[in-house]
Amino acid sequence: MTTAVGIFGGTFSPIHHGHLRLAIELRERLGLDRVHVIPAGEPPHRDRPGVSARRRLQWVQLACAGEPGLVVDDREVRRDGRSYTYDTLASLRAELPDDASLVLLLGDDAANQFHTWHRWQEIPQLAHLVFVERADATAARSPQVDAWWRDKRVTDPKALKSRRAGLLMSAALPPLAISSTRVRGLLKAGRSIRGLVPQAVIDSFTTEDIDFLTHDEDPAKD
């Protein structure tokens, strides 16, 4: 049987239950063998220090520990320079059997920005895309991306396993209106974030982490 691997990248500053549900539910729904959860590396040109890639990676490891089918993948943290999704997919492809199906999972806000990504038009040579509706996203879908993918759309998840890359699917999940921005806002206001962020991650927070999180800039995601 063909291997099918999901890719779920993000800044994860910090990781929260919205992220975990997306990865867990889509792995089940799409019948993926595993989902690689990939924290973005250090974004260049920051004015103020944000949470380090190393620390965000540790939170992802704590959040995914013992979660079957979620694989924490540190390749973007290890890589120097900008973390381009194109390069991440290419490096994963090089490790997988030739016919393996790769499925890039993107929340709405990331999907709407997709046409600004490095080599976005070549990404379908490497992976399928699944756009996931997000309860708290307000931006409209980019018409450029819509037009470009029109003839690549499928509705049956089985189709994603029939080819190694190049198809687009939309998925709606029961919405969880959680974002890292909201978590950081609550922390800034001195309020509780229990129930939004895995408890193991909350328990690991140091004063320095909270300081960085509450002063975090919005880092680049692609």
Task: Please identify the residue of the shown chain whose CB is closest to the bound ligand ATP.
Answer: 107
Among 102, 110, 145, 167, interactor with ligand ATP by CB under 6 A: 110
What string marks each residue from 157 to 176 as x (binds ligand ATP by CB under 6 A) or -?
A: -------------------x
Residue of 148, 151, 209 whose CA lies nearest to 184: 209
Q: Which one, 162 or 221, has the nearer CB to ligand ATP?
A: 221
Report the DSSP beta bridge partners of residue 132: 107, 171
Contact between 12 and ligand ATP per CB under 6 A: yes
Residue of 80, 79, 94 whose CA lies nearest to 5: 94
Eight-state DSSP code of residue 164: S
Contact between 212 and ligand ATP per CB under 6 A: no
The stretch among 10-18, 29-37, 118-126, 207-215 that binds ligand ATP (CB under 6 A) is: 10-18
Angle in degrees, CA 60, 79, 75, rounded to 5: 40
Instruction: Count the neighbouring beta carbons within 10 Å of the beta carbon of residue 207.
Output: 7
What string marks each residue from 63 to 102 as x (binds ligand ATP by CB under 6 A) or -?
A: ----------------------------------------
Contact between 19 and ligand ATP per CB under 6 A: yes
Both tokens of 214, joined, read 């509450």
Contact between 134 and ligand ATP per CB under 6 A: yes
Shortest CB 92 distance to ligand ATP, Å: 17
- CA of 141: how far to CAs of 52, 111, 124, 131, 201, in Å? 31, 7, 18, 10, 32
Shortest CB 3 distance to ligand ATP, Å: 23
3 state SS of 5: strand
Instruction: Count the neighbouring beta carbons within 10 Å of the beta carbon of residue 85.
Output: 25
3 state SS of 42: coil
Shortest CB 207 distance to ligand ATP, Å: 21
Cβ(137)–Cβ(182) below 8 Å: no
Contact between 55 and ligand ATP per CB under 6 A: no
Shortest CB 1 distance to ligand ATP, Å: 28
d(CA 177, CA 120): 28
How many chain residues interact with ligand ATP (CB under 6 A)? 19
Among 25, 58, 109, 115, interactor with ligand ATP by CB under 6 A: 109
